Chain A
Amino acid sequence: MANAKSKEQVVSPIGASFTRNDVYEKVTGTAVYTDDFQFGNKLLFARAKRSPYPHALIKKIDTSKAEALPGVKVVVTGKDFPNRIGLYLQDKTIFATDRVRFIGEPVAAVAAISDEVAMKAVELIEVEYEELEAVFDAEFGASDKAPLIHPDLDKYICPNFIFPKAGTNIANHFKIRKGDVSSAWEKCAYIVERSFKVPHIQHVPIETHIAIAQMDEKGKVTVWASSQSPFAQRNLIAHALHISQSDLRVIAPLVGGGFGSKAGVTMEAIPVALATKCKGWPVKFVLTREEEFYTNFVRQGLTIHVKVGCDKEGNLLALKNMMYWDGGASTEYGTNVTRAGGYSSSGPYDIPNVETDSICVYTNHPIGGAYRGFGMSELHTGLDQAIDELAEKAGIDKVAFLKKNGVTEGDVLVTGMIMHKNGIQECIDNVAKSLKMGEKEKPSSPDRLRGKGIAIMWKAPAMPPNPGSSAWVEMAEDGNVTVGLGGQEIGQGTFTVMAQMAAAALGVPYEKVRIAGPVDTQYSPYEWQTVASRLTWSMGNAVVLAAKDARRQILETVAEAWKESTEDLDIINGVVVSYKSERETSLENIVIYGIPKENNEGWIGGPIVGRGSFMPKYVTNLDAETGQGPRAVVHYTVGCEGLDIEIDKNTGTIYVLKGAASFDVGKAINPALVKAQVEGGFAQGLSSAMFEEIKLVKGVMTNPSFVDYRIATAPDMDFPLDTPFVEVPQDDGPWGARGVGEHPMVPTIAALGNAIYDATGIRLTNPPYSAEKIYLAMLDKGLVK
């Protein structure tokens, strides 16, 4: 075995911090994003006419002046596209048809030869409205006093795990009834009851939404989109337009940030609708930053009433959650956020008695959709602060309280599912040690107060029970490997991690593996969506199966040619070796042309193509009245975060001295990428905790710009951040891996809220915890004069 190193000498591609395989293009400006495609002189520019009212009937739309404007190619309105679509609850149309339900809802669109003409044409569209009473508060919206926003709710199609209530604004009511909460309260020595209001926030990818669509003469459509969900978009847009899924092709280049906002279908259907009316012409639609803020999916607002109790020793006994989610004008995606908020409503705590009502309410606010964390940040904001208070009431050290009540293997969870092995204890220890929790330290100046806060979290991939992944593995004459997949590179590094897994499963060096990109629904294998932190686990399983399938084909070919058993063969560093005969051959010799038989009797083998497909098959539905069932989710990723902060008494400004975050990732396939995800998620979480809020006044977003909607900048993140991870393997994850993309922003608001409390004794409840809010609260409490 001259060329192949023995197995012990070969460094495994798993657990190694390889450089990202998309990074050279990204630092040289040659990486291709959707807006970088060139479409030539025929390109048309689209603009949308949007509703100025939160709730109104459309009486009349007159597009004649717009159509008459020179340079306008086509104008469309809702009457041509009446089909309802939605990822979960089918309550949305591409354009408003008979009524508008939020400010910014598209009612018509224009495609013209220039953006300037398109803008002018939109101004010329005349829409007559009759204003209706609007709903701006979820709790009010759920009451019988509220005007109905979707009077046809009973006619909408939805899967059997979503429970809309016809004749109300309730789009989903998810219930948990575990144990007996009402009789448990009297056994509680300590009880905390608190309400929190978590505001709407925006994803803020630096690349705004963009899609280009073109229909050919035969009616086939191609869409180029910045997308987390090319396959879901193919399915939903085809459905909306009454065309075959096979006649709709979505090409999805690199994504300039997603965070959930580019999942499902939002604005992508608009250029497609226009393209159907001007065959052969590509139509480009790009959201302005302002539109990105107020017209696209938002993170739903949440009002949560928490009541939680424990016995004298600090064992949690009962939890009652009342959650009202501000679902907005459509809840096609948001219904499942509220479902996730329900079935995970205990957080990672072992609590025998739980009652939860997670209610998704239509309002006349922007549409709620997927946002990194999918309901978990919102719910943990309330729960983890109430728990912090309960620990203090019980006189128990906060770290000890979390460790005592954290979920362990075998616990019966809130849905009746049995908890799997997990590393939450180690995560808590890591953060507690890093921040010296429990040790009261002095502030750096008499003008400042110092405090530390800690919070734990969990999150399961939130999805339908049967989201599939698939992959193929091909090889070229040079022995290099190409992996076909349908999950998207949105910055998280999935293409790199998939290459590492394929390399390890096949037996080739990481550098020999490439990813077939961009994802193209015409050539790439199916992937449900790039959401839910599910790719490392789900797509990873498919890639490993495909690589193993290719490996099997290679070994069988060689075994037949060498008249050996496949069990004696191995692939090491791209070379097939026999442990028995010590023969070896490089992959490039055989993966395309096969191997000649002896004595010129013909050939063995042929081009290698491995295939892999993965779908979880064990997730069960839950009882509609109790939320109980054998297995609600595939698994949970758990973790812990903490902050050591100072607060300036003169201004209320928070100075973070140190942050710590520890998550159980099962197995870190690429440790540097794991840490990078945790750092970025922590920053996004902290940004939402300190600054972010979509300010809605009677349905109007009053701060739709970077000046008025502040996100964290480099100076805001000027503190050491410790990110040790934990690896308790996932039984069905590749090498034990599970996802960690969303989790780092989940407990951050609560951890900061707990730190503020530790510093000031003030429980602020409603984020963002801005300097102004903190200062006024300190003034109120007499901490400052």
Chain B
Amino acid sequence: MTLKTITLTVNDMVETVDVPQNMTLLQMIREKLSLTGTKNGCSAGECGACTVLMNGEPVNSCMVLAAECEGANITTVEGLAKAGKLSTIQETIIKAGGVQCGFCTPGMLISATALLRRNPNPTDTEIRSAIVGNLCRCTGYVRIVDAIKMAAK
């Protein structure tokens, strides 16, 4: 497999990475950059566990080829806290009790972050549709929605 060298920004750090043509953004993040906070739940863009921000928009990183990320700006769950300070949604999901097994949490936090950036005061329905692609089997979404509401206040 031929390698392609790409340069991109991940969590405010400029990275230059050699990636095989068929490597996904998810694989690159986890395997090349050792950022294992982003999870793989289906490799098919269906569960949302691998959601990251790409140029400010939430994407399923298992459905994006790394080779197409030249110049992109990527934020993963590891990039949400700044200088050791948790972001608002990280704080509120703890406070609301919206974490159980934690496997959907990174993707959920990214989708919530994207929502709150484009819509600081979302309605209940808007919150639920913003995370419709992030499957959670533990919580019934009750406290996750609470956390997003709390963060919006």
Please tell me if the beta carbons of A29 and B137 are within 8 angstroms of each other in the complex: no
Residue numbers in B under 8 Å from A691 (CB-CB) = none
Say yes or no for B106: interface residue by CB 8 A criterion: yes
Please tell me if the beta carbons of B101 and A679 are within 8 angstroms of each other in the complex: no
Q: Interface size class for chain A?
A: 35 or more
Please tell me if the beta carbons of A706 and B128 are within 8 angstroms of each other in the complex: no
Residue numbers in B under 8 Å from A31 (CB-CB) = 37, 102
Please tell me if the beta carbons of B37 and A29 are within 8 angstroms of each other in the complex: yes
Total inter-chain residue pairs, C-beta < 8 Å: 166
Say yes or no for B151: interface residue by CB 8 A criterion: no
Residue numbers in A under 8 Å from B95 (CB-CB) = 19
- Return the contact of A29 from the options B76, B139, B144 (Cβ within 8 A): B76
Binary contact readout B116-148 vs A (1 if CB under 8 angstroms, 0 otherwise) = 000000001101110111111111111111000
Q: Interface size class for chain B?
A: 35 or more
Name which residue of chain A comes closest to B48, CB basis: A206
Q: Which one of A327-335, A475-483, A712-720 contacts B? A: A712-720
Please tell me if the beta carbons of A490 and B99 are within 8 angstroms of each other in the complex: no
Please tell me if the beta carbons of A289 and B76 are within 8 angstroms of each other in the complex: no
Name which residue of chain A comes closest to B49, CB basis: A206
Give the shortest distance, in Å, between B1 (CB) and chain A (any CB). Answer: 9
Please tell me if the beta carbons of B139 and A28 are within 8 angstroms of each other in the complex: no
Residue numbers in B under 8 Å from A23 (CB-CB) = 94, 99, 102
Give the shortest distance, in Å, between B75 (CB) and chain A (any CB). Answer: 11
Binary contact readout B27-59 vs A (1 if CB under 8 angstroms, 0 otherwise) = 000000011111111111011010000000000
Residue numbers in B under 8 Å from A26 (CB-CB) = 99, 102, 105
- Return the contact of A206 from the options B37, B124, B136 (Cβ within 8 A): B136
Please tell me if the beta carbons of B76 and A205 are within 8 angstroms of each other in the complex: no
Residue numbers in A under 8 Å from B136 (CB-CB) = 206, 714
- Return the contact of B105 from the options A27, A490, A492 (Cβ within 8 A): A27
Say yes or no for B90: interface residue by CB 8 A criterion: yes
Say yes or no for B109: interface residue by CB 8 A criterion: yes
Name which residue of chain A comes closest to B42, CB basis: A289
Please tell me if the beta carbons of A680 and B145 are within 8 angstroms of each other in the complex: no
Say yes or no for B10: interface residue by CB 8 A criterion: no
Please tell me if the beta carbons of A680 and B139 are within 8 angstroms of each other in the complex: yes
Name which residue of chain B comes closest to A683, CB basis: B140
A256 to B105, CA, bound (A): 10
Say yes or no for B81: interface residue by CB 8 A criterion: yes
Please tell me if the beta carbons of A713 and B135 are within 8 angstroms of each other in the complex: yes
A493 to B141, CA, bound (A): 16
- Return the contact of A204 from the options B39, B100, B137 (Cβ within 8 A): B137
Q: Which one of A32-40, A215-223, A263-271 contacts B? A: A32-40
Binary contact readout A584-607 vs B (1 if CB under 8 angstroms, 0 otherwise) = 000000000000000000000000
Please tell me if the beta carbons of B104 and A679 are within 8 angstroms of each other in the complex: no
Name which residue of chain A comes closest to B78, CB basis: A29
- Return the contact of B39 from the options A27, A207, A715 (Cβ within 8 A): A207
- Return the contact of A28 from the options B46, B86, B132, B141 (Cβ within 8 A): B86
Binary contact readout B66-101 vs A (1 if CB under 8 angstroms, 0 otherwise) = 000000000011101100001000100111010111
- Return the contact of A205 from the options B36, B40, B101, B127 (Cβ within 8 A): B101
Please tell me if the beta carbons of B46 and A705 are within 8 angstroms of each other in the complex: yes
Say yes or no for A404: interface residue by CB 8 A criterion: no
Say yes or no for A46: interface residue by CB 8 A criterion: no
Say yes or no for A120: interface residue by CB 8 A criterion: no
Residue numbers in A under 8 Å from B104 (CB-CB) = 206
Residue numbers in A under 8 Å from B109 (CB-CB) = 27
Please tell me if the beta carbons of A29 and B101 are within 8 angstroms of each other in the complex: no
Evaluate whether A257 and B90 lie within 8 angstroms (CB atoms) in the complex, with A207-B41, A714-B131 already known.
Answer: no
Please tell me if the beta carbons of A28 and B145 are within 8 angstroms of each other in the complex: no
Please tell me if the beta carbons of B43 and A706 are within 8 angstroms of each other in the complex: no
A255 to B95, CA, bound (A): 22
Give the shortest distance, in Å, between A609 (CB) and chain B (any CB). Answer: 31
Give the shortest distance, in Å, between B110 (CB) and chain A (any CB). Answer: 10
A255 to B133, CA, bound (A): 21
Evaluate whether A707 and B46 lie within 8 angstroms (CB atoms) in the complex, with A680-B139, A721-B142 already known.
Answer: yes
Please tell me if the beta carbons of A713 and B132 are within 8 angstroms of each other in the complex: yes
Residue numbers in B under 8 Å from A255 (CB-CB) = 101
Please tell me if the beta carbons of A27 and B93 are within 8 angstroms of each other in the complex: yes
Give the shortest distance, in Å, between A136 (CB) and chain B (any CB). Answer: 28
A617 to B103, CA, bound (A): 37
Residue numbers in A under 8 Å from B86 (CB-CB) = 27-28
Please tell me if the beta carbons of A706 and B137 are within 8 angstroms of each other in the complex: no
A681 to B142, CA, bound (A): 11
Say yes or no for A672: interface residue by CB 8 A criterion: yes
Give the shortest distance, in Å, between B45 (CB) and chain A (any CB). Answer: 9
Residue numbers in B under 8 Å from A285 (CB-CB) = none
A33 to B39, CA, bound (A): 9
Please tell me if the beta carbons of B97 and A257 are within 8 angstroms of each other in the complex: no
- Return the contact of B35 from the options A29, A35, A705 (Cβ within 8 A): A29
Say yes or no for A254: interface residue by CB 8 A criterion: yes
Please tell me if the beta carbons of A706 and B140 are within 8 angstroms of each other in the complex: no
Please tell me if the beta carbons of A706 and B46 are within 8 angstroms of each other in the complex: yes
A474 to B109, CA, bound (A): 36
- Return the contact of A680 from the options B34, B35, B36, B140 (Cβ within 8 A): B140
Please tell me if the beta carbons of B37 and A706 are within 8 angstroms of each other in the complex: no
Give the shortest distance, in Å, between B97 (CB) and chain A (any CB). Answer: 5
A237 to B39, CA, bound (A): 28
Please tell me if the beta carbons of B38 and A718 are within 8 angstroms of each other in the complex: no
Residue numbers in A under 8 Å from B145 (CB-CB) = 714
Say yes or no for A30: interface residue by CB 8 A criterion: yes
Give the shortest distance, in Å, between A296 (CB) and chain B (any CB). Answer: 14
Please tell me if the beta carbons of A36 and B36 are within 8 angstroms of each other in the complex: yes
A31 to B37, CA, bound (A): 7
Say yes or no for A168: interface residue by CB 8 A criterion: no
Residue numbers in B under 8 Å from A30 (CB-CB) = 37, 78
Residue numbers in A under 8 Å from B44 (CB-CB) = 289, 705-706
Binary contact readout A14-32 vs B (1 if CB under 8 angstroms, 0 otherwise) = 0001011011111111111
Within 177-212 of A, Cβ neighbours of B (below 8 Å) are at 203-208
Binary contact readout A671-712 vs B (1 if CB under 8 angstroms, 0 otherwise) = 011011001111110000000000000000000011100011
Please tell me if the beta carbons of A256 and B90 are within 8 angstroms of each other in the complex: no
Evaluate whether A679 and B137 lie within 8 angstroms (CB atoms) in the complex, with A28-B37, A208-B41 already known.
Answer: no
Give the shortest distance, in Å, between A587 (CB) and chain B (any CB). Answer: 28
Name which residue of chain B comes closest to A207, CB basis: B103
Please tell me if the beta carbons of A676 and B100 are within 8 angstroms of each other in the complex: yes
Please tell me if the beta carbons of B46 and A491 are within 8 angstroms of each other in the complex: no
A549 to B108, CA, bound (A): 42
Please tell me if the beta carbons of A679 and B128 are within 8 angstroms of each other in the complex: no
Please tell me if the beta carbons of A679 and B94 are within 8 angstroms of each other in the complex: no
Please tell me if the beta carbons of A256 and B129 are within 8 angstroms of each other in the complex: no
Say yes or no for A259: interface residue by CB 8 A criterion: yes
Residue numbers in B under 8 Å from A17 (CB-CB) = 97
Say yes or no for A288: interface residue by CB 8 A criterion: yes
A602 to B125, CA, bound (A): 70
A459 to B54, CA, bound (A): 47
A712 to B103, CA, bound (A): 16
Please tell me if the beta carbons of B102 and A711 are within 8 angstroms of each other in the complex: no
Give the shortest distance, in Å, between B62 (CB) and chain A (any CB). Answer: 11
Name which residue of chain A comes closest to B80, CB basis: A28
Residue numbers in A under 8 Å from B137 (CB-CB) = 203-206, 257, 259, 680, 684, 711
Residue numbers in B under 8 Å from A33 (CB-CB) = 36, 39, 103
Please tell me if the beta carbons of A718 and B128 are within 8 angstroms of each other in the complex: yes
Since A26-B102, A289-B46, A718-B128 are in contact, a sample of 8 more A-B pairs with Cβ atoms closer than 8 Å, ordered by chain A residue number, is A208-B41, A676-B100, A676-B143, A679-B139, A680-B137, A683-B142, A684-B140, A713-B141
Interface positions of A (Cβ within 8 A of B): 17, 19-20, 22-33, 35-36, 38, 203-208, 254-259, 288-289, 490-493, 672-673, 675-676, 679-684, 705-707, 711-715, 717-718, 721
Interface positions of B (Cβ within 8 A of A): 34-44, 46-47, 49, 76-78, 80-81, 86, 90, 93-95, 97, 99-106, 109, 124-125, 127-129, 131-145
9 CB contacts below 8 A, A to B, read A27-B109, A29-B78, A30-B37, A203-B137, A257-B137, A491-B102, A680-B138, A715-B132, A717-B142
